[in-house]
Amino acid sequence: MKKTCLVTGCAGFIGSHLTQSLLDAGHFVLGVDNFASGYVHNMDGFIDNAGFTFYERSIAEEGLLAELKQAHPDLDVVFQLAAVVSVPYSVEHPELTMQINFEANRDMLDTAKDLGISSFVFAGSAAEYGNEDRLPVKEEYAQDAEQLSPYGIAKYKSSAYIEDSGYGCSLRFFNIFGPRQDPTSQYSGVISRFVDFGLAGKNMVIFGDGEQTRDFLYVSDVVTAYLIAAGLDEQGRGPLTGIYNVGTGLGRSVHELATVVAGLTSAPEGIDFKPERAGDIRHSRADISKIAAEGFKAEVAFEKGLARTVDWAMKSKS
Ligand SMILES: NC(=O)c1ccc[n+]([C@@H]2O[C@H](COP(=O)([O-])OP(=O)(O)OC[C@H]3O[C@@H](n4cnc5c(N)ncnc54)[C@H](O)[C@@H]3O)[C@@H](O)[C@H]2O)c1
């Protein structure tokens, strides 16, 4: 059945992929973005699609969801991705971060529930676990985590609010990568930087010994998790309620990443090691057993996802 879906953050990296997939599947999409970190060109693939309506608005505007529901009575699914996405920015602007990443979510969730909207899916984050050293990280560990930043605190409060309400779902994503990712992102910006070094024929620069690991998930698998969570999956998986980690369950080292990208860009395999950066988490890897029990499994292999990302980066630079 075709649905009308709201995607907040539709001009961002993940939101633009989700919007494109929903439109490709024949759904209608209302997109909201204020371009705080997104770009008009991220919407090039769908801005003229008849099924897409764009609103340049902020999710912090009171009554936004009720207004959209009044204008589009069929609106039945909310994907809440818009957020302050930079951890350093959140440290400099803790109040704004709390307003966007917690209060706006809370108000939108309450409104969605009151309006009888079927699905509400929120973009949670591995940052909710702070510097957790028990691996793989299980969903319940966040309760006693010391979140390291206003970003992590606000995301954690949103996820906890969703779980307590018994309505909606928070997907806690680890490190997402793919075309259109932001090179400055704390999650996977390292991939864009390695691609830049590789294409320029320069040595890769690694901070620390390169043995730090992350759980990298390709963006199309993220879209699949969103569709499952909202009950829009073509294979009939979902919908989901509560909090779910989303990752591959595998840790990949930054050194391994540099080596694969060097191969894909035909760069020299030289690496310049620089001193470790303060505050960097050593290892991060999701326990994915909860979402795996719902039928989710990452489909795109790390090397294949990297090849697609490098290909996109090369095309966008030429
Ligand atoms: N990229 C990752 O690896 C990752 C990992 C975990 C969680 N997340 C979460 O996923 C979501 C999407 O992240 P992304 O990587 O696509 O980032 P992004 O910056 O590309 O996308 C976020 C979008 O939200 C928009 N936005 C910000 N504040 C807004 C507001 N007040 N009103 C309307 N729009 C607003 C931005 O302009 C941008 O287009 C975020 O909530 C982020 O915290 C991302």
Q: What are phi and psi of 52, to 5 degrees?
A: -115, 135
Give pTM, 2 decimals. Answer: 0.97
- Among candidate residues 151, 156, 226, 244, the one labeled active-site is 151
Top mutation candidate among 7, 13, 245 for ligand 1, by most atoms within 8 Å of CB: 13
| CA 8 – ligand 1 centroid, Å | 9
Lowest mean pLDDT segment, chosen from 31-45, 136-150, 239-253, 288-302: 136-150
CA distance linking residue 131 with residue 303, whole number of Å: 27
Task: For the chain, give the number of residues.
Answer: 318
Question: Residues 82-98: pLDDT tens digits?
Answer: 999 999 899 999 999 99
Taking each continuous run of H as one helix and of E as one strand, the counts in the chain are: 11, 13
Would you call the peptide bond into 268 cis, given omega within 30 degrees of 0 as the criterion?
no
Average pLDDT over residues 7-27: 98
With a cut of 80, say whether residue 117 has pLDDT above it: yes
Query: Does residue 185 line the site of ligand 1, with CB under 6 A?
Result: yes
Q: Is 110 helix (H, G, I), strand (E, B) or coil?
A: helix
Superfamily the domain 4-177+216-248 falls into: NAD(P)-binding Rossmann-like Domain (3.40.50.720)
β-pair type (119-125, 75-80): parallel
* Angle of the 150-165 helix axis to the 104-114 helix axis, nearest 10: 20
pLDDT of residue 268: 75
pLDDT of residue 266: 81
Q: Is 113 helix (H, G, I), strand (E, B) or coil?
A: helix
Residue (of 180, 208, 175) closest to 282 by Cα position = 208
Top mutation candidate among 17, 18, 30, 37 for ligand 1, by most atoms within 8 Å of CB: 37
pLDDT of residue 255: 93
pLDDT of residue 57: 98
| CA 181 – ligand 1 centroid, Å | 11
Which atom from ligand 1 is nearest to the alpha carbon of 100? Answer: 31
| CA 270 – ligand 1 centroid, Å | 33
Query: Does residue 35 line the site of ligand 1, with CB under 6 A?
Result: yes
Query: Does residue 36 line the site of ligand 1, with CB under 6 A?
Result: yes
pLDDT of residue 278: 74
Angle, alpha carbons 182-173-235 (nearest 5°): 110
CA distance linking residue 192 with residue 251, whole number of Å: 19
**Domain definitions of the chain by residue range:** 4-177+216-248
Which atom from ligand 1 is nearest to the alpha carbon of 59? Answer: 32
pLDDT of residue 31: 99
Question: Residues 207-242: pLDDT tens digits?
Answer: 999 999 999 999 999 999 999 999 999 999 999 999
pLDDT of residue 280: 77
Average pLDDT over residues 111-119: 98
Lookup result for tokens 């040595």: 203
Half-sphere exposure for 246 (CA within 13 Å, toward CB): 33
pLDDT band at 186 (very low <50, low <70, confident <90, very high): confident
Query: Does residue 9 line the site of ligand 1, with CB under 6 A?
Result: yes
Top mutation candidate among 42, 59, 68, 81 for ligand 1, by most atoms within 8 Å of CB: 81
Is 129 noted as a catalytic residue in this protein? Answer: no
Half-sphere exposure for 165 (CA within 13 Å, toward CB): 23
With a cut of 80, say whether residue 300 has pLDDT above it: yes
CA distance linking residue 8 with residue 158, whole number of Å: 15
Average pLDDT over residues 170-197: 87
| CA 202 – ligand 1 centroid, Å | 30
Portion of the chain with pLDDT greater than 70, in percent: 100
Average pLDDT over residues 191-207: 87
Average pLDDT over residues 136-162: 93
CA distance linking residue 96 with residue 35, whole number of Å: 15
Phi/psi-derived region of residue 314, left when phi > 0, alpha when psi is between -120 and 50, beta in every other case: alpha
CA distance linking residue 270 with residue 260, whole number of Å: 12
pLDDT of residue 175: 93
Q: Whose CA is nearest to atom 2 of ligand 1?
A: 176
Which atom from ligand 1 is nearest to the alpha carbon of 11? Answer: 39
Question: Residues 154-177: pLDDT tens digits?
Answer: 999 999 999 999 999 999 999 999
